[in-house]
C-alpha cells in the first residue's frame, strides 16, 4: 500500500512548463527525498500535490485514494435542491408584493385575530398559479443562475488544500508561514483544528465538551512542543522566535494533525551543522512514530544520511530515481548539480 | 494570578454608575441618553469587529444587516401585521434573521479577494435601501413601520421617558454580547479566525475549512448588526426611513472599530465612546454654544456652525488614524488562553 | 449682482444683540422657550435657513417679549453630519430635550414628515404644542388617509398637540390634477422621488387624474441621486405625454429632470409641487429649460401676491435679510406667530395653557390669508396658488382650490 | 419611436454615461493598482474639479463668449481642473496617506474616508461662493446649474435617434485619454516604474525606484483623470452639487471591480457595461429597480469570474 503515488504530473503556467510528466511512488514509513538544482520544479510539484495548484494533467493518490470531491450522487442531490430553492426564491422575490397583499394584508383586520389557515391557503394558491403565467420564466432564470453558481462554486472547491490536509497530509513551506501573532501553543492547536469536534455552540455556551477537548488538546500540544524541543517558550508570539526554532515550530504544527504523510519543503535551509544533526534525529523519530516523510532538500549530507529513496529533478523533468548510493553514482545527477567538466 | 480588572470591566463599571452620578448633576449635563446611543453602536461595531477584526474580511455594508434586523423586528412585532410576536421573541428572532441574510450574501461572494468582497458589501448596503424603499406593500416604503413595541419589564410597556430603564437594558445586552464574543474569541473558532486573518493559505494547508469559518464570521456579524437594528427600532418605536441605514452608518461603525482598536473588544468600546461622543455630544454642544452667540442662520455659509460638521468629523478620522494607526486600545492577543 | 451679504450679516448680528439686550432691561416675569427642530446640515440646509429666518423675524417683531415673558428661541438641528439629512436618533434627542426643558412651550418642526412621526408621540406625552411649517403627509393628522393605525398611533394620550399651517398633500395633489385638466392635458407621465412627501403627492395626483379623465401613460419612481435621466426621457418620449408631473423637491433632482427633458427633446409641459417653489429650483434647472412650460403649485399665495400682513412680512424680510423672501420663510414666520399669539392669549403661561390657545386659533390673520385650525389640527386655509416661470422668475397664474 | 430606435437611443445614452463612469474608474484603478487603496476621496476630489470649472466659467464669463472661444474655454477648464485635481490628490497622498505607508490597509482606508468627508465640506463651502454662477452663494447646499456651453441640437437632423454634441464631446475627451494612459503605463519608463511598485514596492525600492515619488505621480495622474472627468460630467449633465462625489464614486468603484481592479481596459469595459445596463434596465424594467439589477449583475459576474472580467488572477506566491 503506497503512502503517496503521483502519475504523470504536469504543471503548465501559460507557456512555461514547470513540471513535465513526473511519476513516483512513496511506500509507507519511508523517508523519500526530492532533490534538484534551483528552479527544477520541486516546490511546484509539492504545491500541485498538496492542492495549492491544480495540476494541468496527472493524478495524485494518497494511500491509494484520489482525494478529490467526486460528483457523487449526494453532491448531485444537493445541487438539485440548491437549483430548485433558487428558482422558488427568485419567483417569491419577484412577486413578493402581490403574495404579501393577498395572503396577509387582505385577510388581516386591524386588532382582530388573524385567520391563519385562510392566509396560508391564499398564499399557496397564489404561489402555485404564479407558475402558470410569467412565473415560469423567472423560475427558469433563477434555476439557471442558482444551478450555475452552485456548480461553479462546487467545481472550485473540489480539490482545495484543506480537503487534502484533512485526509492526513501535512506540509511545511519553503519560506516559513507561521501565524506570527499567535503563541506557539496556539499555532500547534491550529494544526489540530480538524481533529476537534467542539463547534460554534459549545464554544459560545462553554459546554462540557469544550472544556474536555481544550484540556486534552492543550496537553497534546505541550507534548508535541517538547517533542521538537520548544517546551520552554510556549506562550511567546511565534513571530519572536529565532530562525531555527521557527522551522521546528512549523514541523510541530504540521505534526499536530497526526498526518499519515508529512511533506517538508527545505527544512534544513539556513541551519548550522549541529541543528541539522538534530533535524535528522527528529525526522527519523517522526518516521519511527509511523509517519511517512517526503522532503525537498539541498543539503546533501542530510539527504544522503536520512532518506530511503531519492527522486532527482532538472528543468521540471525526472532524470533519476533510486537509493542514495545509486544516485551518488549516477553521472546525470552529478552533472545536474556540479555542471560538466570543460574538456581541455 | 491576582485578578486585575481588564479594560472592559472598567468601561462597563463606569457605564453602570453613570446614571447615579447624573442624578446629582443639573439636567443640562445629562448625557445618559447619548451614552445609550454609544451602547447601540458598540453592539453593531462588535459585530463588525468579528468579521473585519478577527477574520480580516472588510465589510463596508454592515448597515444593511442593521436595516434587515430593524425591519424584520418591526414586521414581526408591529400591530399593523398579524404576527405581533412581542418584544423579546422578536428581538431574539433578529439574530437568526441576520445570520440568514449574512449567509445569503456570503455564500456566493466569500471566495472573492478582500477588496472585491468590500465593494460587494458596499453595493449590498446600497441595494438593501432600494429594496426596502420599493417593497412598500411589505415595508411601507419611506414611511417606515411604526409603532414598534418596547419591552414591558415591570408592568407597562416602556416609553421614551423611561430613560434609565432603556439605559440599563442596553448596558445589560451589551455585556451579554461582550461575554458571548469573548467566549468565541477564546476558542477553536477564534483561533481559526485569527489564523485566516494572518495567512489564509497556511491555515488552509493546516486543514481549516476556510469557507465555513468565513461564513461563520460573516453570519455572526450580520446577526449582531440585525440585533442592534431591532433594538434601535424598538427605542425609536419606528424603523424610520430606509435611508437611515445608509453608507454613513456603515462608515461610522467601521471608524469605531478601526479608531478604537481593530480586533479588540475594549478597543471597540472605547472607539464607540469616542466616535459617538464626538458626533452627538461634542458637535451638538459646540453648535449650541455657537448658536447662543447669535452666529449662524445668515446667508454666508461659513458662519453657520452646522456647515462645519463634515470637516470636523473627517479631520477627527484622519488625525486619529495618523496618531494611533493601531487604534486607541490595540488588541492584546490572549496568548495565555488556548 | 446681488447686494453683498456682508451688509445682511451685520444687520443680523446687531438686531439679535439688540433684542437680547432689550429683553434684559425690562423686568420679566420669567422665560418661555420655543424650539425649532429642522435639518440644518446637508442638502435641505437652504430651505431650513429661510424658515429659521422667518421665525427670527417674528421673534424680533415682538422683540423677544410677550406680556412681560421673555421668549427664548433655540434652533436645533435634527440632521447629523454623517447622514447628510434628518436622523431619527437626533430627532428623538431634540424632542426629549424639549420635554426635559421645563420652560419649553412651543416646538416648531419638523421639516420631514418622517421625523414628525418620531417626535410626535414624545411631545404628545409631554403635552407640548407642536406646529409644523412643512409636513404635508396627510396620515399625520387625518384618519383614513394614511395607515390603519394613523394618526392615533402619534397621539398616545389621545389629545391633539400637533398642528400644521400648510395644506396637506391630498389637497395639493387634487388641485394640481384639476389645473392640469384646465391646461388641456390629455396624457400625463407621473414621476416620484420615492420619498414620503414626493410619493404621497404623486399618488394623489395619479388617482385624481384617472378620476377626471386624464390618461396616466406612465408612473415611475426615480433615483434622486442619479447623475442624469436621459434614459428615462427616451422612455417617456416613446409614449409622448402632454405633461410630465414630478412629485419631489429641488433636493431630489427636480432641476436635473427639467434639464434632461429639454435636452432629450421633450416639448411638453412640466409640473411640480411646492417642494420646488424656491429660487434654488430655477437656479438648478436653468431658466431656459423652464420658461413658459413649467407649472408649480404652492399652498398659500406667493410673495408678490401677498396683501395685508403678508405684504408687511415680505418687506420686513427684505429689510432684515437683504434678500427676496422665499415661500418657506412665510411658513416659518407664520408658525412662530401662531405660537407667540397663543402665548399672549394663553390663560396660564405653561405648556397646557399654550397648547389650548394654539388649538383654539380661529380666523388667524396670517401671511397665508385668514385661516383657523380644524379638529384634526390642520389649517382650514384651502388657498393654493399656481405659478409658472417666465424669464427666470416665478410668475403668479391663478388661485387654485377653495 | 420604433422599438429598435428606442433601443439604439438607450444604447447611445448608455455608452455616453458609461464612458464618464469609465474615466472616473480609471482614477480608482490606477491608485488601487499601486498601493491597493480604495481611494474613497477620489469621488470628492472629482467634485471639487467640477466646482473649479464652474468658478473659472463664472470668473471669465465664458457664457458670453463666441462659440469658437467657448471651445477654447472648455479646453482651459479641462486642463485647469485636471491640474488642480491632480495636485490636490497628490497633496492628499503626501499629507494623509504617506505617513501611513507602514500602517495596516484598514487604517489607510479610514484616512481616505476622513479625507472624503473633508473634501465634501470644502465643496459645501465652495458652493457658497458669492458669485453669480453659484446663485450668489445663498443656497450653498443646493445643486448648481452648469451652463450649457455645448449646444443640445440633434446631430442626426430629424431622425428619432438623438445624438447631441455632448455625446460626441464625451467620446472626444475620453478616448484619447484612455489611449494615452495605456501608452503611458505600457510604454514609458514611469509606467514601468509604476508597474514595478504595484507588484512589489520593497523590491522596486531595492532596484533604486523612488517609490514614494512614483506613488505621488500616480496619485497626480489619478487626480488629473478625475479632473478631466469632472468637466466632461459637468458639460454632459449640466448640474453639479457638493454631494455628487459619493454616487459617482460608487459607480466608478463597481465599474473598476467589474472589469477587474488594477486593469485599465477592465475599468473602461466595466464602466461601459454599467452605463448600458443602467439605461437598458431603465427602459425595459423599472427605474427604481436599476440599482438592484446592476448589483445583481456585479455579483453574478464575480461568481463566474472571481477576479473581474479582465482582472489578472494573481496566484498566491508560495
What pLDDT is stored for residue A340 in this prediction? 63
Say whether C169-299+384-400 and C5-167+305-371 share the same fold.
yes
Candidate CATH numbers 3.40.50.2300, 3.30.230.70, 3.40.50.9100, 3.30.530.20; the one for domain C5-167+305-371 = 3.40.50.2300
What pLDDT is stored for residue C18 in this prediction? 42
Q: What is the mean pLDDT of residues B284-307?
A: 65
Q: Is C100 on the interface with B (CB under 8 A)?
A: yes
CB contact under 8 A, A182 and B191: yes
Please, which residues have CB within 8 angstroms of residue C300's CB and are 6 or more apart in sequence?
Answer: C166, C167, C327, C330, C367, C368, C369, C381, C383, C384, C385
Rounded to a whole number of angstroms, the distance between the first and last alpha carbons of chain C is 39
C180, C206, C202: which is closest to C192 by C-alpha?
C202
Can you list the pairs that C306-313 forms with residues at least 24 positions away whose Cβ atoms lie under 8 Å?
Answer: C306/C330, C306/C367, C308/C365, C309/C365, C309/C366, C309/C367, C310/C366, C310/C367, C310/C368, C310/C369, C313/C54, C313/C57, C313/C367
Mean pLDDT lowest for which of B148-152, B300-304, C160-164? B300-304
What pLDDT is stored for residue B333 in this prediction? 62
What pLDDT is stored for residue D116 in this prediction? 93
State the pLDDT confidence band at C25, using cuts at 50, 70 and 90: very low
| Domain range summary for chain A, segments of one domain joined by + | 73-156, 178-258
Mean pLDDT lowest for which of C52-61, C86-95, D4-13? C86-95
Q: What is the mean pLDDT of residues C73-91?
A: 75
- Which of the two residues, D17 and A227, has the higher pLDDT score? D17
| Of residues D303, D315, D316, nearest to A152 (C-beta) | D303
Nearest-angstrom CA–CA distance, D70 and D65: 6
Element at A174 (helix H, strand E): none
Q: Is A291 on the interface with D (CB under 8 A)?
A: no
Grid cell 504523510 is found at A261
Q: What is the mean pLDDT of residues D72-77?
A: 92
Burial of A58: CB neighbours in 10 Å, binned 0-12, 13-18, 19+: middle
Query: Which A positions 136-165 lie with beta carbon below 8 A of chain D?
Result: 145, 148-149, 152-153
State the pLDDT confidence band at B291, using cuts at 50, 70 and 90: low
| Domain range summary for chain D, segments of one domain joined by + | 3-304
Grid cell 446614571 is found at B19
Q: What is the mean pLDDT of residues D70-80?
A: 92
Q: What is the mean pLDDT of residues C8-32?
A: 52
Partners of A176 on chain B (C-beta within 8 Å) are none
Say yes or no to pLDDT of B144 above 90: no
Say yes or no to pLDDT of D211 above 70: yes
Say yes or no to pLDDT of B4 above 80: no
Count of Cβ atoms closer than 10 Å to residue C351 Cβ: 23
Give the neighbours of chain A: at least 3 Cβ pairs within 8 Å: B, D
Say yes or no to pLDDT of C12 above 60: no
What pLDDT is stored for residue B296 in this prediction? 53
Query: Which D positions 123-152 lie with beta carbon below 8 A of chain C?
Result: 130, 132, 135-145, 147-148, 152
Say yes or no to pLDDT of D75 above 90: yes
Q: What is the mean pLDDT of residues D134-138?
A: 73
Tens digit of pLDDT for each residue in C120-178?
888 988 889 999 988 888 888 888 877 777 788 888 888 889 998 888 888 889 999 99
Q: What is the mean pLDDT of chain B?
A: 85
- Contact pairs from chain A to chain D, CB under 8 Å: 15
Q: How far is D263 from chain A (nearest CA, A)?
A: 19
What pLDDT is stored for residue C28 in this prediction? 66
Q: Is C283 on the interface with D (CB under 8 A)?
A: yes
Say yes or no to pLDDT of B302 above 90: no
CATH number belonging to domain D3-304? 1.10.3470
- Is residue A339 left, alpha or beta, with left meaning phi > 0 and alpha meaning psi from -120 to 50? left
- Is residue B154 left, alpha or beta, with left meaning phi > 0 and alpha meaning psi from -120 to 50? left
Nearest-angstrom CA–CA distance, C185 and C213: 10
Mean pLDDT lowest for which of A135-139, C235-239, C271-275? A135-139
**Collapsing DSSP states into helix, strand and coil, what is residue C177?**
helix
- Rounded to 5 degrees, φ, ψ at D250 are -60, -50
What pLDDT is stored for residue C302 in this prediction? 77
Highest mean pLDDT among B158-162, C233-237, C327-331, D86-90: D86-90
Q: Is B203 on the interface with A (CB under 8 A)?
A: yes
Instruction: Please state the pTM of the whole predicted model.
Output: 0.88
The DSSP line for A260-286 is SEEEEESTTTT--HHHHHHHHHHHHHH
Query: Which A positions 224-283 lie with beta carbon below 8 A of chain B?
Result: 235-237, 253-254, 256-257
Nearest-angstrom CA–CA distance, D275 and D293: 12
Q: Is the dihedral of CA D37, D38, D41, D45 positive or negative?
A: positive
| Domain range summary for chain C, segments of one domain joined by + | 5-167+305-371, 169-299+384-400
Bridge partners of A313?
A: A318
Chain-centre distance for alpha carbon C150 = 21
What would the 3-class secondary structure string for B156-167 be? CCCCCCCHHHHH
State the pLDDT confidence band at B5, using cuts at 50, 70 and 90: low
- Contact pairs from chain B to chain C, CB under 8 Å: 141
Question: Hey, of A43, A86, A145, which one would you mutate to test binding to chain D, going by the most D CBs within 10 A of its CB?
Answer: A145
Tens digit of pLDDT for each residue in B181-191?
999 998 999 99
Count of Cβ atoms closer than 10 Å to residue A140 Cβ: 13
Q: What is the mean pLDDT of residues B46-71?
A: 94
Contact C272, C217 (CB under 8 A): no
State the pLDDT confidence band at A341, using cuts at 50, 70 and 90: low
Cis peptide before C151 (omega within 30 of 0): yes
And the C-alpha cell for D246?
459619493
Q: What is the mean pLDDT of chain A?
A: 87
Tens digit of pLDDT for each residue in A190-248?
999 989 888 889 889 998 889 999 999 999 999 999 888 888 888 888 888 888 888 88
Highest mean pLDDT among B234-238, C183-187, C223-227: C183-187
Element at D145 (helix H, strand E): strand D144-145
Please, which residues have CB within 8 angstroms of residue A198's CB and are 6 or more apart in sequence?
Answer: A207, A209, A210, A213, A214, B187, B188
Please, which residues have CB within 8 angstroms of residue C307's CB and are 6 or more apart in sequence?
Answer: none
Question: Hey, of D124, D128, D145, which one would you mutate to test binding to chain C, going by the most C CBs within 10 A of its CB?
Answer: D145
State the pLDDT confidence band at C3, using cuts at 50, 70 and 90: very low
- Which of the two residues, B146 and D195, has the higher pLDDT score? D195
Say yes or no to pLDDT of C110 above 80: yes
Say yes or no to pLDDT of C43 above 70: no
- Rounded to 5 degrees, φ, ψ at D151 are -60, 155
Element at A189 (helix H, strand E): helix A184-192
What pLDDT is stored for residue C379 in this prediction? 86
What pLDDT is stored for residue C402 in this prediction? 60
Contact C5, D131 (CB under 8 A): no
State the pLDDT confidence band at C19, using cuts at 50, 70 and 90: very low
What pLDDT is stored for residue B3 in this prediction? 54
Tens digit of pLDDT for each residue in D166-184?
889 899 999 999 999 999 9
What pLDDT is stored for residue C130 in this prediction? 92
What pLDDT is stored for residue D141 in this prediction? 75
Question: Hey, of B207, B213, B336, which one would you mutate to test binding to chain A, going by the most A CBs within 10 A of its CB?
Answer: B207
Mean pLDDT lowest for which of B28-32, D4-8, D32-36? B28-32
And the C-alpha cell for D300?
453574478
Tens digit of pLDDT for each residue in A13-30?
878 888 888 999 998 888
| Of residues D16, D147, D154, nearest to C265 (C-beta) | D154
What pLDDT is stored for residue D22 in this prediction? 94
Count of Cβ atoms closer than 10 Å to residue B279 Cβ: 26
CA trace torsion D250, D252, D255, D257 (10° rounding): -70
Tens digit of pLDDT for each residue in B212-250?
999 999 999 999 999 999 999 998 888 888 888 988 889
Q: How far is B86 from chain C (nearest CA, A)?
A: 17
And the C-alpha cell for C115?
421625523
Contact D134, D149 (CB under 8 A): no
Tens digit of pLDDT for each residue in C187-220?
999 999 988 888 889 999 999 999 999 999 999 9
And the C-alpha cell for B191?
483561533
B75, B131, B81, B93: which is closest to A103 by C-alpha?
B81
Mean pLDDT lowest for which of B4-13, B183-192, C62-71, C352-361? B4-13
- Rounded to 5 degrees, φ, ψ at D313 are -80, 90
CATH number belonging to domain C169-299+384-400? 3.40.50.2300
Nearest-angstrom CA–CA distance, B242 and B226: 14
- Distance of CA A186 to CAs B46, B203, B215, C295, D128, Å? 23, 12, 22, 72, 58
Amino acid at each position: 500500500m503506497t503512502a503517496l503515488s503521483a502519475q504523470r504530473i504536469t504543471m503548465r503556467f501559460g507557456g512555461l512548463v514547470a513540471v513535465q510528466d513526473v511519476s513516483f511512488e512513496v511506500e509507507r514509513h519511508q523517508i523519500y527525498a526530492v532533490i534538484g538544482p534551483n528552479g527544477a520544479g520541486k516546490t511546484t510539484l509539492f504545491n500541485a500535490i498538496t492542492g495549492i495548484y491544480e495540476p494541468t494533467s496527472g493524478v495524485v493518490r494518497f494511500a491509494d485514494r484520489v482525494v478529490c470531491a467526486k460528483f457523487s450522487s449526494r453532491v448531485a442531490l444537493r445541487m438539485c435542491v440548491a437549483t430548485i430553492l433558487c428558482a422558488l426564491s427568485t419567483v417569491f422575490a419577484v412577486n413578493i408584493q402581490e403574495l404579501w397583499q393577498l395572503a396577509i394584508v387582505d385577510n388581516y383586520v386591524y386588532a382582530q385575530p388573524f385567520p391563519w389557515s385562510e392566509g396560508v391557503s391564499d398564499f399557496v394558491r397564489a404561489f402555485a398559479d404564479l407558475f402558470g403565467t410569467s412565473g415560469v420564466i423567472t423560475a427558469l432564470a433563477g434555476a439557471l443562475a442558482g444551478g450555475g453558481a452552485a456548480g461553479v462554486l462546487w467545481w472550485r472547491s473540489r480539490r482545495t488544500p484543506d480537503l487534502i490536509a484533512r485526509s492526513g497530509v501535512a506540509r511545511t513551506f519553503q519560506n516559513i508561514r507561521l501565524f506570527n501573532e499567535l503563541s506557539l501553543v496556539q499555532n500547534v492547536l491550529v494544526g489540530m483544528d480538524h481533529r476537534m469536534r467542539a463547534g460554534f455552540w459549545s464554544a459560545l455556551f462553554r459546554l462540557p465538551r469544550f472544556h474536555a477537548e481544550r484540556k486534552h488538546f492543550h496537553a497534546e500540544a505541550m507534548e508535541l512542543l517538547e517533542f521538537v524541543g520548544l517546551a520552554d517558550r510556549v506562550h511567546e508570539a511565534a513571530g519572536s522566535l529565532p530562525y531555527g526554532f521557527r522551522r521546528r515550530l512549523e514541523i510541530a504544527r504540521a505534526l499536530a494533525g497526526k498526518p499519515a504523510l508529512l511533506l517538508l519543503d527545505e527544512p534544513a535551509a539556513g541551519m548550522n551543522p549541529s541543528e541539522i544533526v538534530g533535524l535528522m534525529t527528529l525526522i527519523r523519530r517522526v518516521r519511527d512514530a509511523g509517519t511517512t516523510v517526503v522532503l525537498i532538500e539541498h543539503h546533501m549530507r542530510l539527504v544522503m544520511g536520512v532518506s530511503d529513496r531519492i527522486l532527482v529533478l532538472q528543468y521540471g523533468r525526472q532524470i533519476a530515481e533510486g537509493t542514495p548510493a545509486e544516485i551518488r553514482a549516477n553521472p546525470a545527477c552529478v552533472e545536474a548539480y556540479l555542471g560538466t567538466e570543460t574538456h581541455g | 494570578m491576582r485578578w486585575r480588572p481588564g479594560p472592559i470591566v472598567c468601561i462597563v463599571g463606569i457605564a453602570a454608575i453613570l446614571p447615579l452620578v447624573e442624578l446629582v448633576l443639573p439636567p443640562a449635563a445629562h448625557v445618559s441618553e447619548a451614552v445609550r446611543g454609544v451602547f447601540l453602536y458598540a453592539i453593531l461595531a462588535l459585530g463588525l469587529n468579528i468579521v473585519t477584526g478577527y477574520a480580516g474580511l472588510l465589510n463596508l455594508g454592515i448597515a444593511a444587516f442593521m436595516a434587515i434586523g430593524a425591519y424584520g423586528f418591526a414586521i414581526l412585532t408591529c400591530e399593523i401585521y398579524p404576527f405581533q410576536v412581542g418584544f423579546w421573541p422578536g428581538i431574539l428572532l433578529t439574530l437568526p434573521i441576520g445570520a440568514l441574510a449574512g449567509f445569503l450574501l456570503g455564500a456566493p461572494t466569500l471566495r472573492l479577494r478582500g477588496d472585491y468582497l468590500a465593494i460587494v458589501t458596499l453595493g449590498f448596503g446600497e441595494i438593501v435601501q432600494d429594496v426596502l424603499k420599493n417593497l412598500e406593500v411589505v415595508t411601507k416604503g419611506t414611511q417606515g413601520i411604526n409603532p414598534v413595541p418596547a419591552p414591558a419589564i415591570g408592568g407597562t410597556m416602556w416609553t421614551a421617558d423611561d430613560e434609565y430603564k432603556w439605559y440599563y437594558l442596553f448596558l445589560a445586552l451589551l455585556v451579554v454580547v461582550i461575554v458571548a464574543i469573548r467566549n468565541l474569541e477564546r476558542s477553536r473558532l477564534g483561533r481559526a479566525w485569527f489564523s485566516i486573518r494572518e495567512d489564509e493559505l497556511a491555515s488552509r494547508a493546516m486543514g481549516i475549512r476556510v469557507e465555513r469559518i468565513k461564513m461563520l464570521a460573516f453570519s455572526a456579524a450580520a446577526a449582531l448588526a440585525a440585533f442592534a437594528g431591532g433594538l434601535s427600532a424598538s427605542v425609536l418605536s419606528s424603523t424610520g426611513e430606509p435611508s437611515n441605514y445608509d453608507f454613513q452608518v456603515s462608515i461610522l461603525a467601521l471608524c469605531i472599530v478601526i479608531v478604537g482598536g481593530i480586533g479588540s473588544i475594549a478597543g471597540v468600546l472605547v472607539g464607540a465612546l469616542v466616535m459617538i461622543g464626538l458626533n452627538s455630544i461634542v458637535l451638538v454642544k459646540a453648535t449650541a454654544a455657537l448658536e447662543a452667540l447669535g452666529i449662524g442662520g445668515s446667508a454666508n455659509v461659513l458662519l453657520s456652525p452646522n456647515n462645519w460638521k463634515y470637516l470636523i468629523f473627517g479631520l477627527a478620522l484622519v488625525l486619529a488614524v495618523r496618531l494611533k494607526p493601531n487604534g486607541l486600545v490595540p488588541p492584546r492577543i490572549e496568548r495565555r488562553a488556548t | 449682482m446681488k447686494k453683498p451679504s456682508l451688509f445682511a450679516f451685520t444687520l443680523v448680528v446687531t438686531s439679535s444683540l439688540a433684542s437680547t439686550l432689550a429683553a434684559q432691561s425690562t423686568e420679566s416675569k420669567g422665560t418661555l422657550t420655543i424650539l425649532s427642530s429642522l435639518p440644518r446640515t446637508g442638502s435641505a440646509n437652504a430651505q431650513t435657513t429661510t424658515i429659521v429666518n422667518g421665525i427670527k423675524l417674528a421673534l424680533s417683531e415682538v422683540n423677544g417679549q410677550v406680556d412681560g415673558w421673555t421668549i427664548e428661541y433655540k434652533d436645533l438641528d435634527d440632521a447629523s453630519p454623517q447622514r447628510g439629512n434628518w436622523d431619527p436618533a437626533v430627532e428623538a434627542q431634540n424632542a426629549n430635550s424639549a420635554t426635559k426643558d421645563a420652560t419649553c412651550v412651543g416646538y416648531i418642526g419638523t421639516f420631514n414628515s418622517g421625523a414628525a412621526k418620531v417626535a410626535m408621540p414624545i411631545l404628545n406625552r409631554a403635552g407640548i404644542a407642536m406646529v409644523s411649517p412643512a409636513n404635508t403627509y396627510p396620515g399625520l393628522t387625518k384618519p383614513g388617509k394614511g395607515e390603519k393605525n394613523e394618526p392615533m398611533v402619534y397621539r398616545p394620550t389621545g389629545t391633539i398637540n400637533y398642528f400644521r399651517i400648510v395644506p396637506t398633500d391630498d389637497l395639493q395633489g387634487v388641485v394640481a390634477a384639476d389645473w392640469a385638466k384646465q391646461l388641456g392635458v390629455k396624457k400625463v407621465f407621473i414621476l416620484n422621488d420615492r420619498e414620503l412627501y414626493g410619493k404621497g403627492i404623486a399618488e394623489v395626483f395619479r388617482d385624481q387624474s384617472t378620476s377626471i379623465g386624464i390618461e396616466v401613460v406612465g408612473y415611475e419612481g426615480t433615483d434622486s441621486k442619479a447623475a442624469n435621466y436621459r434614459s428615462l426621457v427616451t422612455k417617456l418620449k416613446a409614449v409622448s405625454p402632454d405633461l410630465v408631473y414630478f412629485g419631489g423637491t429641488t433636493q431630489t433632482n427636480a432641476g436635473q429632470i427639467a434639464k434632461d427633458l429639454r435636452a432629450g427633446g421633450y416639448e411638453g409641459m412640466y409640473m411640480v409641487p411646492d417642494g420646488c417653489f424656491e429660487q434654488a429650483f430655477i437656479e438648478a434647472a436653468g431658466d431656459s429649460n423652464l420658461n413658459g412650460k413649467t407649472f408649480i403649485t404652492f399652498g398659500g399665495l406667493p410673495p408678490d401676491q401677498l396683501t395685508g400682513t403678508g405684504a408687511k412680512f415680505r418687506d420686513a424680510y427684505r429689510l432684515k435679510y437683504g434678500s427676496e423672501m422665499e415661500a418657506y420663510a412665510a411658513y416659518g414666520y407664520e408658525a412662530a406667530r401662531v405660537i407667540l399669539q397663543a402665548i399672549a392669549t394663553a390663560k396660564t403661561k405653561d405648556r397646557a395653557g399654550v397648547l389650548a390657545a394654539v388649538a383654539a386659533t380661529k380666523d388667524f390673520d396670517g401671511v397665508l390669508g385668514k385661516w383657523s385650525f380644524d379638529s384634526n389640527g390642520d389649517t382650514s386655509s384651502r388657498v393654493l396658488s399656481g405659478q409658472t416661470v417666465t424669464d427666470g422668475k416665478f410668475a403668479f397664474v391663478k388661485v387654485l382650490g377653495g | 419611436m420604433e422599438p429598435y430606435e428606442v433601443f439604439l437611443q438607450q444604447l447611445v445614452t448608455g455608452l455616453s454615461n458609461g464612458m464618464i463612469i469609465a474615466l472616473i474608474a480609471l482614477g480608482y484603478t490606477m491608485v488601487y493598482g499601486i498601493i491597493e487603496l480604495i481611494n474613497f476621496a477620489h469621488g470628492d476630489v472629482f467634485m471639487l474639479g467640477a466646482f473649479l470649472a464652474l468658478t473659472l466659467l463664472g470668473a471669465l464669463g465664458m457664457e458670453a463668449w463666441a462659440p469658437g472661444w467657448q471651445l477654447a474655454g472648455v479646453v482651459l477648464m479641462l486642463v485647469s481642473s485636471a491640474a488642480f485635481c491632480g495636485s490636490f490628490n497628490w497633496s492628499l497622498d503626501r499629507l494623509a496617506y504617506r505617513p501611513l505607508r507602514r500602517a495596516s490597509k484598514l487604517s489607510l482606508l479610514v484616512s481616505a474616508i476622513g479625507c472624503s468627508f473633508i473634501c465634501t465640506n470644502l465643496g459645501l463651502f465652495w458652493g457658497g461662493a458669492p458669485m453669480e454662477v453659484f446663485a450668489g452663494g445663498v443656497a450653498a447646499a443646493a445643486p448648481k446649474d452648469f451652463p450649457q456651453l455645448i449646444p443640445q441640437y440633434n446631430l442626426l437632423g430629424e431622425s428619432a435617434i438623438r445624438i447631441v454634441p455632448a455625446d460626441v464631446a464625451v467620446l472626444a475627451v475620453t478616448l484619447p485619454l484612455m489611449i494615452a494612459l495605456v501608452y503611458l503605463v505600457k510604454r514609458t519608463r514611469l509606467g514601468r516604474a509604476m508597474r514595478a511598485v504595484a507588484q512589489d514596492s520593497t523590491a522596486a525600492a531595492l532596484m533604486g525606484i523612488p517609490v514614494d515619488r512614483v506613488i505621488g505621480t500616480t496619485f497626480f495622474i489619478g487626480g488629473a483623470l478625475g479632473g478631466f472627468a469632472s468637466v466632461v460630467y459637468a458639460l454632459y449633465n449640466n448640474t453639479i452639487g457638493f454631494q455628487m462625489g459619493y454616487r459617482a464614486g460608487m459607480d466608478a468603484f463597481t465599474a473598476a471591480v467589474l472589469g477587474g481592479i488594477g486593469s485599465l481596459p477592465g475599468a473602461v469595459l466595466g464602466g461601459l457595461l454599467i452605463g448600458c445596463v443602467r439605461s437598458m434596465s431603465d427602459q425595459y424594467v423599472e427605474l427604481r429597480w436599476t440599482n438592484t439589477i446592476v448589483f445583481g449583475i456585479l455579483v453574478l459576474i464575480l461568481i463566474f469570474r472571481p477576479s473581474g472580467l479582465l482582472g489578472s488572477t494573481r496566484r498566491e506566491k508560495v
